[in-house]
Amino acid sequence: MLANELISRFERFAPLKLKWDRDPSGLQIGDPKQAIHKVLVTLDVRPEVVQEAVKIGADMIFAHHPVMFHPANNLDYQDPQKAMYADIAAHHILVYAAHTNLDSADGGMNDWLAAELGLTGVTGLVAGYEEAAVKMTVTVPTAQVEAVQEYLTKTWHASLNRYAFNSGEQFTVNLMADQVKPAVAGINRFVSGDDWDYQVEPLLTGGHQYSMGRVGNLPQPMTALDFAKRCKTVFHVDGLRLVCQEPQQVIKRVAVLGGDGGKFYPDALRAGAQAYVTGDVYYHTVHDMLASGLTVVDPGHHVESICKAHLTQLFKRWQAENDWQVEFVASQLNTDPFTFI
């Protein structure tokens, strides 16, 4: 299969429109028209991960963290990071990264983290991309109406209202605004552009708010200290940082945001969370968190490595649905740079 088949399917799940400003998610290195046979799924792209890809014969690396956050000033191969780029190119390995778009996707990174904590009644934490809903009224010849409707329902999971008239049929379909253009292109495959027509009008309801981070309730209340211990267990870390005024404080409502989410702690407070789980919290920000009364658990950035198993499982499901001739392998390497002593 071609790499862009996987990329296209993934970007239906976690569209690039969800990524935050200046985040270089998407294709990092390579040609999306390249044929792929084995994909290595990883949290980070490090020199040792590239060597792992070479060793197993992977021709694509699918990562959460982009390999190129900042432009390289040169390609001096004495620098291990830049030598890694040469290895990637020399072995014709395509690199794709899904960063903040995966963090914001429904059923993505932060839903996986919330599930690990056993949260219920989960909602979004930090508002991101907001998708507007529209009503599309489509008029097509009777001979093509079944094919067009089948396309819309299967591709866009659309619900239709259908009306018959003398020269053909008309129906309405509710879509997200950015689905209209590809839907029109799809309909044009079944009906000549001169033989059908459509109108679009905005809807006041039915849109969708994407969010980074999640907030929900624990199955049972527990103390801040016990909750921190639970985080240590479920995220399989050797140590973590706990910020709290009172270790015996009862915690019921929890916010979680994978990666570096310290600056979003006011959102956790507004959501009514008593505890906030995130990584890389900054010293001076922690003073503000502590003063606010919020309990904060920092298990590190590397807890996002749960994406390896979840993405691999997701890809294998799509593989079965689409009969892809490709193998998906989760990286076996631990790229956490920290050691607790």
Per-domain residue ranges for the chain?
A: 3-102+305-330, 109-128+212-299, 133-202
User: Which band of pLDDT confidence, cut at 50, 70 and 90, is reported for residue 164?
Assistant: low
Residues 120/121/127/128 CA torsion (nearest 10 deg):
70
* pLDDT tens digits, 75-87: 999 999 999 999 9
* pLDDT tens digits, 36-62: 999 999 999 999 999 999 999 999 999
Indicate the annotated binding residues for a divalent metal cation. 64-65, 103, 301, 304
The highest-level CATH class for domain 109-128+212-299 is: alpha beta
Tell me, yes or no, if the two domains 3-102+305-330 and 133-202 fold the same way. no
The C-alpha atoms of residue 265 and residue 285 are separated, in whole angstroms, by: 9
* pLDDT tens digits, 92-151: 999 999 999 999 999 999 999 999 999 999 999 999 999 999 999 999 998 898 899 889
Mean pLDDT of the chain: 95
Query: What whole-number percentage of the chain has pLDDT above 70?
Result: 98
CATH 3.40.50.200 is held by the domain 133-202: no
Structure tokens at 108: 């993505």
User: Which band of pLDDT confidence, cut at 50, 70 and 90, is reported for residue 170?
Assistant: confident
3-state SS of 95-156 is: EEECCHHHHHCCCCHHHHHHHHCCCEEEEEEEEEEEECEEEEEEEECHHHHHHHHHHHHHHH
Indicate the annotated binding residues. 64-65, 103, 301, 304
The C-alpha atoms of residue 332 and residue 41 are separated, in whole angstroms, by: 9
Choose between 164 and 244: higher pLDDT: 244
Task: Out of 3.30.930.10, 3.60.15.10, 3.40.1390.30, 3.40.1180.10, select the CATH number for domain 3-102+305-330.
Answer: 3.40.1390.30
pLDDT of residue 158: 72
The C-alpha atoms of residue 124 and residue 267 are separated, in whole angstroms, by: 10
- Prediction pTM value: 0.89
Residue type at 121 in one-letter notation: G
